[in-house]
Amino acid sequence: MPNLALDIAHLLAGGLVLVSFMMLYQDRLPALINVFALHAILLAASVAWQADIQNEPYLYVTAIIALGFKGFVIPMTLRRMIVRLGIHREIETVVGIGPAMLAGIGLVALSMVVMLRVTAEADPLAREDLAFALSVLLLGLLMMVTRRNAVGQVIGFMSLENGLILAATGAKGMPLVVEISVAFSILIAFIVIGIFLFRIRERFDTVDVQALDRFRGDQR
């Protein structure tokens, strides 16, 4: 098979885009967390494959960190958190699933066009993986925009982060120390957000951000 390495890298990156779409499709929180765990596992596999074909062993560490934190620790914590918050029921998205998927396709098309035009001279493997990574990033942003629940927005933020990691590994060479600091900053942000969520829930009995608008007096 010609260029097996290219094809498998594309497959894993494309799978990541597919799982981002699956996250857009979910409207129940427990399922969303499971799909996010799958997202992180696929990211780990993609980074590990890049480590293999680029011959950079320290990327394996990145893969293990992604797998460990985002594939297991964070989903488990989130699951317990939502049970304690009592919001493990249905989430309503701001726009319906159909328009969200259509917008997602538009974003993927946009990122393809941008990436492939801007990087016209670069290595084909890298530029197409970058195009996929930009798609994952934009889809994560779309998820943050179309979710009403704060936990859904946090998961959107995490998947955006996954897109960034995919971009960084695809671009051949990101020092390990940067990755460790990025991972720790994510962890700290996560803890802070968690604390805030609990405080919000204590004060206002809900984590629905539209309710927060109402309390702030911004509700129209």
Partner 1 sequence: MALAAELWSVAAYFALVVVAIATVRSKSNSSIVYSGTFAIGMFALSVASFALADGGRTGASIVLPLGLPWVGAHFQMDALTSFFLIIVNLGGAIASLFALGYGVHEKAPHRVVPFYPAFLAAMNLVPLAADAFTFLVSWEFMSLASWALVLAHHREADNARAAYVYLVMASFGTLALLLAFGVLAGADGGYSFDAIRANANLTPTMAATVLLLVLVGAGSKAGLVPLHVWLPLAHPAAPSHVSALMSGVMTKVAVYAFIRIIFDLVDSPEWWWAVVVLCLAGATTVLGVLYALMEHDLKRLLAYHTVENIGIIFIGLGLALAFRANGIAWASALALTAALFHVLNHSLFKSLLFFGAGAVLTATGERDMEHLGGLIHRMPQTAFAFLVGCAAISALPPFNGFVSEWMTFQAILLSPQLPQWGLRLIVPAVGALLALSAALAAACFVKAFGVSFLGRPRSAEAEHAKEVDAFSRVTMFVFAGLCLAAGVLPGLAIDALAPVVQDLIGARMPQQTSIDWLSIVPIAESRSSYNGLLVFIFITLSASSAAYAIHLFASNKVRRAPPWDCGFPDARPATQYGAGSFAQPIRRVYGTLVFRAREHVSMPPPGDMRAARIDVELRDLIWDTLYAPIAGLVGFAADRLNVLQFLTIRRYLSLVFILLVTLLLVLAIWP
Partner 2 sequence: MALIRDLAVQGMQMLVVLLLAPLLTGFVRKAKARLLRRQGPPLIQPYRDLIRLMRKEAVLAFNASWLFRAVPYLVFAATWVAAALVPTFATGLLFSWSADLIAIVALLGSARFFLALAGMDVGTSFGGIGSSREAMIASLAEPAMIMIIFVLALIAGSTQLSAIAEFMLSLQVGLRVSLGLALIALIMVAIAENARIPIDNPATHLELTMVHEAMVLEYSGRHLALIELAASLKLLLYISLIGCVFAPWGLAPVEGDWSSYAIGGLAYLAKLAIGGAALAFFETSIAKMRVFRVPAFLGAALMLGLLGTLLRFVSESF
Residues in the site for partner 2, rule: CB under 8 A?
1-4, 6-8, 10-11, 13-15, 17-18, 21, 25, 97-98, 101-102, 104-105, 108-109, 112-113, 116, 124, 128
* Of 83, 113, 180, 187, the one binding partner 1 by CB under 8 A: 113
**1: CB partners within 8 A, 6+ apart:** 7
- Smallest distance from the beta carbon of 213 to partner 1, in angstroms? 25
Nearer to partner 1, 98 or 217 (CB): 98
**23: CB partners within 8 A, 6+ apart:** 32, 35, 36, 39, 139, 143, 155, 156, 159
- Smallest distance from the beta carbon of 171 to partner 2, in angstroms? 18
Q: Which amino acid is at 24?
A: L
* Of 1, 2, 89, 117, the one binding partner 1 by CB under 8 A: 117
Distance separating alpha carbons of residues 179 and 212, to the nearest angstrom: 34
Instruction: Give the number of C-alpha atoms closer than 13 A to the C-alpha of residue 144, restricted to the C-beta side.
Output: 13
Nearer to partner 2, 15 or 30 (CB): 15
* Of 53, 109, 180, 191, the one binding partner 1 by CB under 8 A: 109
Which entry of partner 2, partner 1, none binds 117, CB below 5 to 8 A by partner kind? partner 1
- Smallest distance from the beta carbon of 111 to partner 2, in angstroms? 10
* Secondary structure class of 208 (helix, strand, coil): strand
Using alpha carbons only, what angle is made at residue 158 by residues 26 and 90, rounded to the nearest 5 degrees? 25
- Smallest distance from the beta carbon of 7 to partner 2, in angstroms? 4
Distance separating alpha carbons of residues 150 and 91, to the nearest angstrom: 10
- Smallest distance from the beta carbon of 123 to partner 2, in angstroms? 12
Nearest to 141 by CA among 124, 153, 125: 153
Query: Contact residues for partner 1 (CB under 8 A)?
Result: 96, 98-99, 109, 113, 117
